[in-house]
Structure formats: C-alpha cells, structure tokens
Amino acid sequence: MSDEIKKGLLGIVVDETEVSKVMPEINSLTYRGYAAQDLCAKCKFEEVAYLILNGELPSKKQLTAFEKMERKNRKLSKTLLDDLKKIPKKAHPMDVARTAVSIMGLEDKETRDNSSKANMRKAMRIFSKTPVALAAFYRARKGKKIIPPKKNLSFSENFFHMCFGKVPNKDIVKAFDVSLILYAEHSFNVSTFTARTITSSLSDIHGAITGAIASLKGPLHGGANEEVMHMMNKIKKPEKAHKWINKALDNKDVIMGFGHRVYKSGDSRVPTMREYFGKVAKIKKDKKFERIYDIVEKVMIERKNIHPNVDYPTGPTYHLMGFDTDFFTPIFVISRITGWSAHIMEQHAANKLIRPLASYKGSKYRKVVQLNQR
Ligand code: COA
C-alpha cells in the first residue's frame, strides 16, 4: 500500500453512490440522473425531496401522500418548543439546528431502529420538524410570538409563514424553492461525508445529521453564504466594490462564495440561482447587491480565474427576502436534510466502517518515567 498522503482526501474515491453526480458532459449537478437546473424549472421542492429520498420522481398520488406526511409531521413536542424558547438568544441558529435535531433523537420512538423503513420514517420527521424548530427560534430570539405551522401551506410557504407571519408573492416563494432544490444534495461533500462516517459505525440518523449540521456550519462549506453577506455589507456600495475586491486579493484574502473543490471552471448551480437573485432584486426594487455581485465576480474571474459557487447568489437573495444573515446556512440545512438522509440510508444498506490510516509524525517510542523521578 502506498504511503502517499492525500490531504483533504483530494481526488480519493471512497465509495459508490446512486444519489447524485456532477456530470461535466452536460455541465450539471444531477440528482438520481436529473439535472438540478431542469428540476428547478419543472418541479417544486417537495418533488425533488421525494426524488432524492426515494430514487424516482413522484406520481401525483405519491406526491400528495408525501406532502401529507411532511405536513403531518411538522408538529413539535412541547418539550422541544419549551427548550427552543430557553436557548440563549445570541446562540448561532446553526447550533440551534444541531441541538434541535439532537433533541428530536431523544424523543423519537424509533431512534435505535436503523432498518431502512424506520430510517425513512425518521428522515421524514427530521425533514418536517427542523424548519419548524428553526422558525420558532427565529421568532423567540426577537421576543416575538412563535407561529405554528399551517397544513395548507407548502414547505417553502410554510417557512415564510412561520418566520414572518405572512407568505410573500409566488415569485419570491419560487426563488426560495429553487434555492432549496439547488442546496438539496451534492455527493460526498464534507457534511455528507461526515454523516456517512458517523453512520458507518452503525450509529443512528439523528446523530449523523447532528454531526452533518456541525460540519455544514463551517465557512469553507455552508457557512459561506453567510460570509458572502458580511462581505457585501462591508463593501457597502457598488462604487466601492472594485477597490475593495482588488485590495482583498492583494492581501491574499480568501473571498467567500468563490472557488470549489469539484468545480474549477464554474459551479453549474450558479446561473440558475443568479437568475432568481435578479428576479428577487427586481421585485424588491433593490439593485445594489446585484451591482456589487457583478463587479466582484468580474474581478475574481479576471484576476484569479476563480468562479462563484452557489453560496454567492443565495446570500444576497436570502437577505433581500428579509432573512437575518445568520439564518442563511440554516436554510441550507432544511434542504440538505434530504441529501444527508439519502446518503445515510445508502451507507446503512451497504456499510463498511470508515477508518482511514494516518502517517505518524510524533515521538519515537519512549519509556514512562514516574512523576517523582521526572
Ligand atoms: N478566494 C481566493 N483564492 C481562492 C479561493 C477564494 N475563494 N478559492 C481558492 N482560491 C485559491 C487558493 O488560495 C489556492 O491558491 P494557491 O494555489 O495560490 O495557494 C487555489 O485557489 C486553490 O484553492 P484551494 O483552497 O486549494 O482549493 P480547494 O479545492 O481546497 O478549496 C474551497 C475549495 C471551497 C475550500 C475554497 O475555494 C474556498 O475556501 N472558498 C471560499 C469558501 C466558500 O465559498 N466555500 C463554499 C464552497 S461551496
């Protein structure tokens, strides 16, 4: 066996998957063989969630049953709701999401059952309840009354309703839905690999998703959409964007929302999300962030040949929709739960304990000298 170290597992194929693949020949990220941008154009998020979890797009009847189940599972226990009200208001909502899923694991009657049927039922419960828990915290930390979910609203409509007490116009809801579709799955990224690693010891789905949320929080992964907004707020005005980005590059700063481990000449999800970002900016009559977006992107490509990733357009889109900046990555969570769950089920179905080796660089063998002789 070669001792060559592949830091960050760069270029290493560690397992097989049927869930998703980047297909360079069609320049697309595909879920179960379907291009993500095609799914954005023709499906709502619930259809894509069904596809990722079940392997096929649903028939009308299957979709109705899936939506009914998703809506039925939305209710949180009184304990979880009370806990959410008690969480420190300054806590990061990603930590709240992680804690909420962990508490769901304490309460779920099937936590220890890792059979594929129980895993699917648990995945559905986590999928339905996590947005409700996050929206409850969104309200509670502002001292506002928690808004319960409504069964007559879609996944996306209901999230707006629970956060803001109203559902925006259908184009804004569609833009949100599209962002969820684009965030739903992305093969062996770090949070998914974390979920699969946890699962590989035959641990359970609540533990695996809790770990995945912790992994997604980092700014090199999901946390980038939040960082993009901080960057745009620092830039403040389109007139300052050119100077700001050039100075940042001169300083050799890492620019959030740019670059990708897999895509080296552009993230295939960006054009779709950029289009919906533009639509939302038009509806909100606020073009400032679009102008900053275009200037920073142009300089990044010209000077570094580094293209934006999907977090670049989602950040300002969520801002224009009215979400607090620290809620951008939690929105990523409510979507990616589908991808993580599919991978956790795949790992359980054909498991091999994930246990790599390390090249040891520490001290040579030495004898322990007792405390009074040291
Ligand atoms: N800003 C500035 N330079 C960047 C960059 C960025 N966003 N992304 C990559 N680079 C540069 C690196 O500095 C490196 O330059 P060097 O060869 O002169 O050292 C080169 O491009 C290769 O980057 P590297 O970090 O080795 O690529 P990677 O595949 O390990 O990393 C990311 C990919 C995503 C971690 C990296 O692009 C990044 O940190 N991006 C910002 C965070 C982000 O948006 N994350 C969301 C990903 S979906």
Model pLDDT, residue 27: 84
Model pLDDT, residue 348: 96
The CATH number of residue 245's host domain is: 1.10.230.10
Measuring CA to CA, how many Å separate 52 from each of 45, 139, 157, 347, 350? 11, 30, 21, 15, 18
Q: Which two tokens stand for residue 363?
A: 């001290």
204 is catalytic: no
Model pLDDT, residue 186: 96
Catalytic residue among 161, 186, 206, 260: 260
> Which backbone phi and psi does 279 adopt, to 5 degrees?
-65, -45
311 is catalytic: yes
| 49 and 137 together in one domain | yes
| 333 and 309 together in one domain | no
| 310 and 344 together in one domain | no
Asked, for residue 255, whether it belongs to a domain, the answer is yes
Ligand 1 center from residue 233 Cα (angstroms)? 21
Q: E-strand spans in 90-164?
A: none
What is the per-residue pLDDT across 117-148, written as a single tens digit (0 to 9) for each?
999 999 999 999 999 999 999 999 999 999 99
| 171 and 257 together in one domain | no
Sign, CA torsion 95/97/100/105: negative
Minimal-distance CA residue to ligand 1 atom 39: 220
Model pLDDT, residue 261: 81
pTM above 0.85, yes or no: yes
| 137 and 243 together in one domain | no
Task: Write the DSSP assignment of 247-307 as a string of letters.
Answer: HHHHTTPPPTTB--SS-SS--TTHHHHHHHHHHHHHHTT--HHHHHHHHHHHHHHHHH---
| 32 and 178 together in one domain | yes
5 pocket-lining for ligand 1 (C-beta < 6 Å): no
Minimal-distance CA residue to ligand 1 atom 13: 254
Asked, for residue 13, whether it belongs to a domain, the answer is no
CA distance 301 to 307: 6
Query: Could you tell me which of 153, 148, 152 has the C-alpha nearest to residue 129?
Result: 148
| 178 and 295 together in one domain | no
Which atom belonging to ligand 1 lies closest to the Cα atom of 259? 37
Asked, for residue 198, whether it belongs to a domain, the answer is yes
What are the residue ranges in the chain where pLDDT is below 70?
1-2
| 126 and 57 together in one domain | yes
Query: Could you tell me which of 267, 265, 249 has the C-alpha nearest to residue 257?
Result: 267
Ligand 1 center from residue 182 Cα (angstroms)? 21
Asked, for residue 361, whether it belongs to a domain, the answer is no
Sign, CA torsion 167/173/179/181: positive
Asked, for residue 374, whether it belongs to a domain, the answer is no
Asked, for residue 191, whether it belongs to a domain, the answer is yes
Ligand 1 center from residue 45 Cα (angstroms)? 30
∠ Cα 95 120 190 (to 5°): 45
226 pocket-lining for ligand 1 (C-beta < 6 Å): no
The parent domain of residue 305 ranges over 224-321
| 64 and 107 together in one domain | yes
261 pocket-lining for ligand 1 (C-beta < 6 Å): yes
Ligand 1 center from residue 262 Cα (angstroms)? 11
Ligand 1 center from residue 230 Cα (angstroms)? 18
The CATH number of residue 54's host domain is: 1.10.580.10
Number of domains the chain is built from: 2
| 335 and 235 together in one domain | no
To test ligand 1's pocket by mutation, which of 261, 270, 293, 302 has the most ligand atoms within 8 angstroms of CB? 261
| 198 and 248 together in one domain | no
| 279 and 308 together in one domain | yes
Model pLDDT, residue 2: 56
Catalytic residue among 83, 108, 204, 311: 311
CA distance 217 to 187: 17
Model pLDDT, residue 349: 96
